[in-house]
Chain A
Amino acid sequence: MSLINREFRRKKDLLWLLTRKEITLKYKRTVLGILWSLLNPLLFAIVLVIAFKIFMRIQMENYTFFLLSALFPWNWFSASVTMSTGTLIGNVTLIKKIHFPRHFLVLSTILAQLVNLIFALPIIIGFSYFYGKGPGMNWVLTIPILIVIQFFVTTGICLSISLVNAYFRDMEYIIGVAVTMLFWMTPIIYPLNIVPEPYRIYLILNPLTYLITAWRDIFMSNSIDWGSIGISFGSSLIFLVLGVFVFKRFGKRLDEVI
């Protein structure tokens, strides 16, 4: 029993240390350090607000809040996917010299990007006080659930692409385009209902639509959309299983290609 316990503690320590390593390394030798975690998404948000609210004059109440409530969760996803393409390639020395569970590298990359979302929560809480219904008990229940669901989807996708990228380095460029495409094909900067009916089906088929909708519902109107959460959870499990399968199936020959 104590052996199992010890192994569990070691795995926990390992995940924590690798995540901390990711975070430290990301901002090492920068002046502003971890502040970039907050600044980066914020500056991106300002650009979008200027483009859509001021230049294109989107007619919507609280457009800034509407945008941020989806943009911050999305950023966690897109940063994880983008970073994970280089995870296995970037840790060649560890992979070749030490025997340890390699998927921990991918998990720690994703967890390290979660910091941005957590840093952004105070901003969302602020907006919620001024423009929404204010944070409530629903938040405490839903946010952890949504984080877990999003962690599952992201893990599934990142496991696959980090491995595929070791075999075909083209993946990195494909992912760059794919993430941008997915950004515009998910209702982040616009609501689902302004999409013309014949095209809406494509968004409805996108599992991220439900996840983003669930995030927005809790942040903006303090309501839990169990339907969206259910669909997100189901699809996240599919992605997770597929990712684990790809990683296990092709991971054995990793040493031959990196």
Chain B
Amino acid sequence: MNSIVEIKDVWKKFPMRRERPGFKEFVVNLPKFLRSSPNSHFWALKGISFKVKQGDCLGIIGKNGSGKTTLLSLILGTIYPTEGEIKVSQKLTPLLELGSGFHPDLTGRENILINGVLLGLIKEEVLERMEEIIAFSEIGEFMDMPVRTYSSGMYLRLAFSVAIHTAPELLLIDEILSVGDEAFQKKSKEALLNLIHRGVTTIFVSHQMSAVREICNRAIWLDDGKIRAEGEPEKVVEEYLRCSG
């Protein structure tokens, strides 16, 4: 089994951006601004290393602000590490979370087309799968309405439907299962399990410990930008719950 995601000692720094002062304050307080160091920053990830093998389903848990989403964005490639190395040797997928890259003024259909191509299909392939995507999302007659008229549940269902129909090889999921109604939650979980069983590698960020226990075969606990525990989902979840409970 070869690893398809390889993360070696990754650090990620964000500048702490205070609200820029207006021109007047700047001139008045010039001596102060010249003295203060402009380079205050915040380390979101501090030396993370792990590998994900083909067919793995890795769960990432941790409290808010521990670096989970930053880690997913790094794997996705929308942001770059400050230090360290990330290798992803498979077709990239969307970051699934509330409010994916849809444009509110375009219709559902137009958004499917653009997103499908952005996610790696060619136009014809998206058109071929269009009906399937629409059927899965259960959006029906709203398909030709602008997306801004959708409820948040519909929005999410559409995003989810496009993503799983783009034949992903590596699925990155950020807290998606906790939204949508019961029926759709169940349906999307099934669709996801189906993909996982077919050997799609998944990285899964969640606060729902039951889902992590159920779906994942490995888990990582992120705490303050570092890996606190790693291994069997049962054990990692238990340790996490004990320490944060």
Contact = CB atoms under 8 A, between A and B. Distances in A.
A244 interface: no
Given A94-B118, A98-B118, A252-B80, 17 more contacts: A10-B120, A10-B121, A13-B117, A13-B123, A17-B123, A21-B106, A93-B99, A93-B100, A98-B95, A98-B101, A99-B76, A99-B77, A99-B78, A255-B80, A256-B14, A256-B15, A257-B17
Contacts of B110: 21, 24
A97 B123 contact: no
B114 A18 contact: yes
Top-8 shortest CB links A-B: A255-B79, A99-B77, A13-B123, A94-B101, A93-B101, A97-B101, A252-B80, A10-B122
Interface residues of A, number: 26
A48 B191 CA distance: 61
A21 B120 contact: no
Interface string B57-99: 0000000000000000100111110000000000010110101
A9 B122 contact: yes
B5 interface: no
Interface residues of B, number: 31
A34 interface: no
Which of A13, A94, A100, A255 counts the most chain B CB atoms within 10 A?
A: A13
Interface in B123-157: 123
Contacts, number: 68
B190 interface: no
A100 B119 CA distance: 8
B122 A17 contact: no
Contact of A25 (B15, B105, B120, B123): B105
Interface string A87-101: 000000111111110
A45 interface: no
A14 interface: yes
B203 to A, nearest CB: 14
Contacts of B95: 96-98
Contacts of B73: 96, 255
Contacts of B99: 93
